Amino acid sequence: MKKYKIAIVGASGFTGSELARLLARHPQAEIIAITSETHTGKLFSDLHPQFFGIIDLPLVSAESVTKAEVDVIFLALPHKISMEYVAKWKNHSAKIIDLSGDFRLSTPEVYKDWYQKEHTFPEGFENAVYGLPELFADLIKNASLVANPGCYPTASILALAPLFAEGIVEENSVIIDAKSGLTGAGIKASETTHFSNVNENFKAYGIGVHRHTIEIEEQLSILARSNCTLQFTPHLLPVDRGILVTAYAKLKNPVNQNSLNDIYQKFYKGKPFVRLRNSAPGIKDVRGSHFCDIFPTWDDRTQRVVIISAIDNLLKGAASQAVHNMNLMLGLEESTGLHQIPLRP
């Protein structure tokens, strides 16, 4: 069985460590390089003690990847930095999976509007494929650069995709109420993520201006073949990991629960990591797994669809989605290495 050589660029964060955890047990992956500019020379297991005796690779500079013979490069780097590495390695033979937001949007102009930064590698948008396998598997298979979706957009888009694909959503009626665990804010502590501000607290942020809004709107617009505008409000939960989305939409014509179920079952038929639930899921139902659990319901009183969607933000919202994309890009069975059962409690 062939082993593909893997480099993970950016080892210090949660996403980098989760990528390493998944790839270490992937039957066709061999991690040959893990990089960190601030921790070069240390062992990966020094940085993440859970890997002691499992992954003890020395951390190297990203520059060493330039001449390395690797098949796939994962960029687990912050927004506004990944683009520099994609530009640097544009002629590298390796396939690149970027977990930042630098190539998720439609144009560099839209990127500048929402990320407040001039994009330094605009030509990258020509080849980048949005890496949501349930929607774009065929495009991902032939891609050399995949923009791994954000965690909020993954849960939100999958919640609403069947309705937009059917073209039955009433214009400007969608409201997305989303909650994320603390790891969604990254590994570096801030005033917002300080324990005393998060513990026993619950708050909204980025109201009306969160940069994931446009990412969700663009992808749903592609599905509907018309422009989509929606209200997206994220909240910070005092938990480690997980995302729970509650999405509301008016439809052009009323439906009943059976027909709504049929729409979702038809759309997600053959999609192994979307589980259509019989009751509303919680974040512990998907914790530590690649599943997205979805529960669509028709509220006859308000004539509105309410959809609950739950994912692990570090996995389906980041690392395992990246591995799913890797499998497709390499021509492997898409679920290879992704059969983790959710952790509960």
CB neighbour list of residue 255: distance below 8 Å, 6 or more residues apart? 168, 263, 298, 305
Say if residue 205 is in the same domain as residue 189.
yes
Indicate whether 217 and 88 sit together in one domain. no
Confidence of residue 73 (pLDDT cuts 50, 70, 90): very high
Hey, which residues are catalytic here?
A: 151
**For residue 199, what pLDDT is reported?**
87
Q: Are residues 205 and 241 in the same domain?
A: yes
Residues 182 and 121 in one domain: no
Residue 86: domain span: 4-148+318-329
- Residue 339 is assigned to a structural domain of this protein: no
Q: Are both 48 and 190 inside the same structural domain? A: no
Look at residue 1 in the predicted model and tell me its pLDDT. Answer: 87
pTM of the full predicted structure? 0.96
What amino acid occupies position 96? Answer: I
Taking only the tens place, the pLDDT of each residue in 164-212 is: 999 999 999 999 999 999 887 777 767 777 787 888 899 999 999 999 9
Same domain, 300 and 160: yes
Residues 158 and 292 in one domain: yes
Co-location of 66 and 135 in the same domain: yes
- Check: CB of residue 253 under 8 Å from CB of residue 260: no
Q: For 121-156, how does the pLDDT look when each residue is reduced to its tens digit (9 = 90+)? A: 999 999 999 999 999 999 999 999 999 999 999 999
pLDDT in tens, 217-275: 999 999 999 999 999 999 999 999 999 999 999 999 999 999 999 999 999 999 999 99
**Strand, coil or helix: 291:** coil
**Residues paired with residue 236 on neighbouring β-strands, in sequence order:** 180, 203
Return the bridge partners of 183, or none. Answer: none
First and final C-alpha spacing in the chain: 36
List all residues 6 or more positions away from 124 whose beta carbon is below 8 Å from its beta carbon.
Answer: 83, 86, 87, 90, 102, 103, 145
Backbone dihedral angles phi then psi of residue 48, each to the nearest 5 degrees: -130, 90
Q: What is the Cα 139 distance to its own chain's centre?
A: 17
Amino acid letter, 297: T
Please tell me the total count of domains within the chain.
2
Same domain, 136 and 224: no
Q: What is the CA radius of gyration of the chain?
A: 20
Q: Which H helix or E strand runs over 209?
A: none
For residue 155, the surrounding DSSP H or E stretch is helix 151-166
In this structure, what token pair is assigned to residue 211?
Answer: 């940069």
**Average pLDDT value for residue range 85-99:** 97
